[in-house]
Amino acid sequence: EQAGKGQFEHFMLKEIYEQPTALTQALEGRVDPENGRIALEDLELGTFNDIDNVQLIACGTSYHAALYGSLTLNQAGIKSTALLANEYSVASPPIDDNTLVIAVTQSGETADTLNALRQANEAGANTLTVTNVVGSTAAREADDALFIRAGPEIGVAATKTFSSQAVMLSLLVQRITEDIHGTPAATEIESYLSELAEMPDQIEELLERSDAEALASRYEQSQSYFFIGRGLGFPVALEGALKFKEITYEHAEGFASGELKHGPLALVTPDTPVFAVFTGEEDEKTLKNAEEAQTRGAPVVAVCPEGHRAVDVADAHLEIPDTDADLAGLLANVQLQLVSYYAADLLERPIDKPRNLAKSVTVE
Ligand code: G6P
């Protein structure tokens, strides 16, 4: 097992560091920033011409990637919802011939997600899976499959596959929007695709310079950990909290920034650090929400580029490289992965195999 980890103490850290490679593989042959073109294997331009609404179904970390994809579609003016696959049978959202259902699943074997996919297939939806595993059940049962090419992920807590799913969904969103509206979601597609192409290098840079380890030890004695974000920062806040609780066993919650004042603020004390993700979407509002927590004594950690106004207000800073607002959250997520990893390491948790959790849950 040690051989597989190479220079790293845990698979999780290795997989966090593999993200530049994973994303390079996900983008390989699929984006051409110079002419603004995206190629998605046999999903030719026009595949989604008749689609008018998109449902994304997933569980766990994949659900956060699905939510990210769905919000991006909404921002591009496409009707879309992200649904927890295990809620799908009771939610039974309406489906017709113009519905596209995307099952987002790293393993392609999660029972809840497969059940929802089968329900969608039976109801006559067009189905597609975004998965890491060629030959998986989801890949076989969905009408189409897009592979994220992240390579094997051993750590139970998903890291590189989240980033790869989100990037893959970003490409898919561009294509779906182009088919439906005639133009891709990004107003300047060439510059968006070049920012995407730069992500592997940006993550490399972030990994080299991250202060996450020092930060994890600074807040080691805390009682609870909160993660807030707005817009595309919201799924990142949810994912930051999920990762944190999965591997540290400490209490962590993710909230939409604006929700803090509608309840969670009652939990805020000097022992509850608040990680605030800034993606460039109404950042002043998120900063105000973070300050409301700070006024109650909570230390605020701003996850944002250098020079951002939040850096002056916050008690600590995790820096992300400057990028497109649609992609900033994915860089912030890498910083949060590192914080969780180092916090769990200080607590000497079995990071790669957290208690009670399985890499792939094949029961309902
Ligand atoms: C399990 C894993 C999670 C994962 C979820 C969905 O609960 O512990 O890390 O996000 O399943 O897995 P999938 O393979 O469908 O993405």
> Measuring from each residue's beta carbon to the nearest atom of ligand 1, which residues come in under 6 Å?
59-62, 105-107, 110, 113, 156-158, 357-361
Give the residue ranges of the chain where pLDDT is below 70: none
Tokens of 191: 């510059």
Alpha helix positions (H), 31-85: 60-75
- Distance from Cα 59 to the centre of ligand 1, integer Å: 6
- State the pLDDT at residue 92: 86
- State the pLDDT at residue 3: 76
Residue 54, classed as helix, strand or coil, is strand
Please check whether residue 195 is in contact with residue 323, taking contact to mean a CB–CB distance below 8 angstroms. yes
- State the pLDDT at residue 262: 97
Of all atoms in ligand 1, which is nearest to the CA of residue 157? 9
Residue 244: Cβ within 10 Å count = 29
Q: Are strands 99-105 and 53-58 parallel, antiparallel or unpaired?
A: parallel
Query: Count of alpha carbons within 13 Å of 152, Cβ hemisphere only?
Result: 4
Burial of 47 by CB count in 10 Å (0-12 exposed, 13-18 middle, 19+ buried)? middle
Burial of 108 by CB count in 10 Å (0-12 exposed, 13-18 middle, 19+ buried)? buried
Q: Give CA–CA dist 147/357, Å, rounded.
A: 25
Catalytic residue among 5, 79, 288, 359: 359
Task: List phi, psi (to 5°) of 127.
Answer: -120, 150
Q: If DSSP states are collapsed to H, E and C, what string results for 122-134?
A: HCCCEEEEEECCC
Residue 93, classed as helix, strand or coil, is coil
Q: Give CA–CA dist 138/102, Å, rounded.
A: 10
- State the pLDDT at residue 179: 97
Of all atoms in ligand 1, which is nearest to the CA of residue 358? 8
Tens of pLDDT, residues 213-247: 999 999 999 999 999 999 999 999 999 999 999 99
Please check whether residue 234 is in contact with residue 74, taking contact to mean a CB–CB distance below 8 angstroms. no
- State the pLDDT at residue 163: 98
Region for 343 from its dihedrals, namely left if φ exceeds 0, alpha if ψ lies in -120 to 50, beta otherwise: alpha
Model-level ipTM above the cut of 0.95: yes
Active site residue 285: no
pTM above 0.90, yes or no: yes
Tokens of 74: 């909404």
Q: Give CA–CA dist 93/106, Å, rounded.
A: 23
Please check whether residue 83 is in contact with residue 93, taking contact to mean a CB–CB distance below 8 angstroms. yes
Tokens of 123: 């109801």
- Distance from Cα 120 to the centre of ligand 1, integer Å: 20
| C-alpha dihedral (115, 52, 148, 60), degrees to nearest 10 | -50
- Distance from Cα 359 to the centre of ligand 1, integer Å: 6
Residue 275, classed as helix, strand or coil, is strand
